[in-house]
Structure 1
Amino acid sequence: MSESSHAENPIREAFARHIEDLDTAPFWWKNAKTESYEKFESLANPTRRDEEWRFATIKGLELADVRFAALPSISDAAALVERSNFIEKFSGRFVFGDDQTLQADRLSPELEEKGVIWAPLKEAVAKHGDLLKDYFMKQEADLGSEKFAALHQAFMENGALLYVPKGVEIEDAFVVYNWSINAGSAIFPHTLVITEDFAKVKLVEANLSATEDTAAFSCGVNHIFAGVGSTVDYTLLQNFNEQTLGFQINSNIAGKDSNVKTISVNVGCRRYRSETHGQIKGSGSKVEMLSLAVADNEQEIDQRTLQTHSAPHAVSDLLFKNALIDNARTIFSGLIKVDPGAQQTDAYQTNRNLLLSGTAEANSLPGLEIDANDVKCSHGATTSQIEDDEIFYMLARGIPRAKAEELIVYGFFEEILERISCETVAENARQIIQSKFKKRQTK
């Protein structure tokens, strides 16, 4: 390799420009970004020999085709805001396009008086720096994507901060829309939720593409910190186009007697990797981790999970369901880890895969690591095809095969969809799945 090619580093050059553009940001913020970028460069790219990347496709992770440069202004912002309509009644809404704020629907005066904070991260760096110093990126990525978490922190420039003080209960959900717009763009969605003791809140996040044919890269992070006795309900709808390479790194910390429920609906991306770490740190807490995915064509959806029990008398329940069509691939690798002091833990982990073609491939790697002797833990995985009797029953009633398969998939997923607390969001999730089948029928 020539000396000039060694010197050329488009990502480093883009990062230098990114830091220059942060001329008014506080020193600690820019310093943390610089340290993260150096960490990104120091970490090796994943290989198939890495256990955390077993079965995954590695090609393309060098990000050679991604533009980490300043993007052109967004001309169709009003149209995208109009399309950001999954919820009609909300406590607050942010619409981001290529990480730019297109719409910011703020808090009501009543919630402001109670001390609730709802702010774009670009704004929060200056106004709520002390809060960010305590919570921002304080949960380490530990399921294989450490390099991409470092890249996220280095380039992340916007996102949503939600802070709910002690005893505040909010009925209507908050909602965040992250739109990928320009071809070759790199976006870094970030959502940080902090609830103090006995607070209650719901948040919905939607990751979407403005068009169906613009290749892009998304590297998102979601962190939840649930205080004592608090309740957090989080739903993610991922429907990027199938030209997108996507990462989503999720984690939550559940305090004593708290309840945390996270639901992911994954339909889009050419390749999508989701990592979810539920940290059960308080006794009496309950963490639910639910996910569904529909993959077709050559899609690959890679799911890595960890349920870490560090406190006694707590519950975690994980259910991941995947439906695969054509040559699609899914990977599920999950581990329940129970520390020595976490007696009387109830932990469950289930992965179910439904194959709609003979060439689809589902890989499942569930596991347990138990260091306590008074626990109830179970894990399991099943992969099956649609039963011939089910298809025959519908064909006999005049239902075409393609529609019959679609209806069976709906029934397969309903166990998760019915647990989405906001009915309009659940209905939008159903429509996203339905749209995917309609596209197949028109090909």
Structure 2
Amino acid sequence: MANTLARGLSRGAVEELSRQKGEPAWMLQRRLHAWDVSESTAAPLGRRGDLGTFRAMANFKYQDVSPYIPADGSGTLPAVIQQSLQDALVNERAGHVVQRNASVVHVELDEALKRQGVILTDLDTAVREYPELVQQYFMTKCVPVESNKYTALHAAFWSGGIFLYIPKGVEIEQPILSQIWIDSPASANFVHTLIIADEQSSVRFVAEYNSAFEDEQPSILNDVVEVYAKNEARVEFSNMQDLGLNVWNVTNKNAIHEKDASVTWVMADLGSKVTLENIGATMGGNGSVAELVGVFFTDHDQRLTMNTLSNHAALATNAETLVKGVLAGQSRVEFEGMIRVQPKAQQTASFLSDHTLLLSDECRSESIPSLEIGANEVSASHGATTGQIDEEQLFYLMVRGIRREEAERIIVQGFFEPVLQRVPLENLRARLRRSIVHRMSGTDDLEADTWVDAQERWEIEGVDEHAISLDGTKPEEEIKLTEY
């Protein structure tokens, strides 16, 4: 039976973790190399004058957390986790993986998919049974160990994890669901998801991050997601992060696209005390396509930094990033989006937009969209807006008998709805709507139908799209370069 490791991160802890897992020598060597990289790499501190998320994450006290808290082996899950399994985002699914703290406690996959060669298992098992695939793809090109200090720590201490391989030509119609649960205080959890979609395959993958403990001792989730989309593969990855405010989250996600491959990221950030998020798409194959849809709602003293990268490295690639979020309380949000077009990436089309709504005078938001253009036949644009609810429009609704709180909620729903319509999974859209209603109302007793179609309400009440006053708007910048 595996034992919980002592608090603090060390080279000895890496060796003990690998010993308890009975890993082959090559994985131990990879872990030790990663530990050496983490020791020689400083934590990123952000830029001068930013809102402090990088520095807050760098100051997390790893000496106070255990890097490995395995399942107790009883096979019994706490009631709150059992309930979450019943209320999962995906009811009809092709596969299901549940990880509790450092251990995967449940794996299931449709028998017909098994016969077609689909592999869904925990990463610990994949190391033993599919070593050639793990050695080739695990933190080599997609999210390299050396990317930053947090990826190096992840590579040294990962445990549990999800491994998914879809063979050539296999199309998985129903989604595959993973649920990550943290219910141990003072724990460091390093969860890895590795998805390999072979040529002309397709999959929809849904990941839920939740926590359930009341202790004030914080825990941290350091997760990495790697997606390899081979020629003409289609991958859709949706992530609902609703961790408690006693959990910190640092996440690195990236996809590598081959010829005509398509990857869609859907990111919903609602929880976590401090979140540092890096999401990328490397379009290395001609005609490949990337899409990122992001939604966030922060309140209290939450901190969120989201960095996105659309890296165009081949001919005729396309990408679009759309992020919308609301801030309340004393929360802080930073968004930095980058479109990078490499010299050989002619005929690129890439678009980036970020829109933020402030609900209090104490919250702060910064948006920095950027372009790096190395080709001369490009269509690229970026834009960012930050604003508050217009008081005149609120008054307009209130004189018609609508309470201020409900009027604000109607406007917020109208702000979110266009981006929610871009979320491909209906259950995720419904969950996001309920979560937004909960945040706005302060109660979870409301049913899903309390979501108001704001556009319809505006037509009834006469409130138009100017209900949000965009102060300090950064105008959209567009670059079109064509060489004849």
Q: 1:43 corresponds to which residue? A: 41
Q: 1:210 corresponds to which residue? A: 212
Structure 1 portions without partners, runs of 5+? 1-7
Q: 1:27 corresponds to which residue? A: 25
User: Relative to 1, partners in 2 of residues 1:124 and 1:387: Cα closer, same or farther, differing over 3 Å?
Assistant: same
Q: Which string of whole-angstrom CA distances, capped at 9 and with x for unpartnered residues, describes residues 183-224 of structure 1?
A: 111111211111111111100000001235552100011111
**Equivalent position amino acid for 2:435 in 1:** I
Following superposition of structure 1 onto structure 2, how do residues 3-402 of structure 1 map, counting pairs within 5 Å? 10-12=8-10, 13-22=12-21, 24-49=22-47, 55-59=52-56, 60-70=59-69, 73=72, 77=77, 79=79, 80-84=81-85, 85-105=88-108, 107-139=109-141, 141=143, 146-211=148-213, 213=215, 215-402=218-405
1:290 is displaced (CA, Å) by: 1.3
**Equivalent position amino acid for 1:36 in 2:** A
1:65 is displaced (CA, Å) by: 2.9
CA contact (8 A) 1:71 1:185 kept: no
1:397 is displaced (CA, Å) by: 3.1
User: Relative to 1, partners in 2 of residues 1:144 and 1:361: Cα closer, same or farther, differing over 3 Å?
Assistant: farther
Cα distance in 2 for partners of 1:401, 1:144 equals 50
What TM-score, normalized to structure 1? 0.92
User: Relative to 1, partners in 2 of residues 1:440 and 1:41: Cα closer, same or farther, differing over 3 Å?
Assistant: farther
Cα distance in 2 for partners of 1:429, 1:276 equals 20
1:412 aligns with 2:411: no
1:50 is displaced (CA, Å) by: 7.5
Cα distance in 1 for partners of 2:146, 2:412 equals 30
1:155 is displaced (CA, Å) by: 0.7
> Identity, % of aligned pairs?
30
1:32 is displaced (CA, Å) by: 0.6
1:74 is displaced (CA, Å) by: 7.6
User: Relative to 1, partners in 2 of residues 1:384 and 1:50: Cα closer, same or farther, differing over 3 Å?
Assistant: closer
Cα distance in 1 for partners of 2:403, 2:257 equals 46
CA contact (8 A) 2:346 2:377 kept: yes
What TM-score, normalized to structure 2? 0.84
Cα distance in 2 for partners of 1:321, 1:361 equals 15
Q: 2:460 corresponds to which residue? A: none
CA contact (8 A) 2:96 2:177 kept: yes
CA contact (8 A) 1:322 1:330 kept: no
Q: 1:4 corresponds to which residue? A: none
CA contact (8 A) 1:11 1:68 kept: yes
CA contact (8 A) 1:271 1:301 kept: yes
Cα distance in 2 for partners of 1:33, 1:230 equals 31
User: Relative to 1, partners in 2 of residues 1:82 and 1:264: Cα closer, same or farther, differing over 3 Å?
Assistant: same
Cα distance in 2 for partners of 1:273, 1:335 equals 16
Structure 2 portions without partners, runs of 5+? 1-5, 446-484
Cα distance in 2 for partners of 1:96, 1:427 equals 24
Q: 1:3 corresponds to which residue? A: none
CA contact (8 A) 2:171 2:202 kept: yes
Q: Indicate the SS of the match to 1:11.
A: coil
Please report the RMSD computed on the Cα atoms of aligned residues, expressed in angstroms: 2.4
Q: Indicate the SS of the match to 1:394.
A: helix
Cα distance in 2 for partners of 1:319, 1:427 equals 19
Q: 2:462 corresponds to which residue? A: none
Q: Which string of whole-angstrom CA distances, capped at 9 and with x for unpartnered residues, describes residues 351-390 of structure 1?
A: 1110111111111111101011111000111101112233
Please list every run of at least 4 consecutive aligned residues from structure 1 whose deviation after the TM superposition is greater than 4 angstroms.
48-51, 140-145
1:55 is displaced (CA, Å) by: 4.6
CA contact (8 A) 2:71 2:102 kept: no
Cα distance in 1 for partners of 2:282, 2:259 equals 12
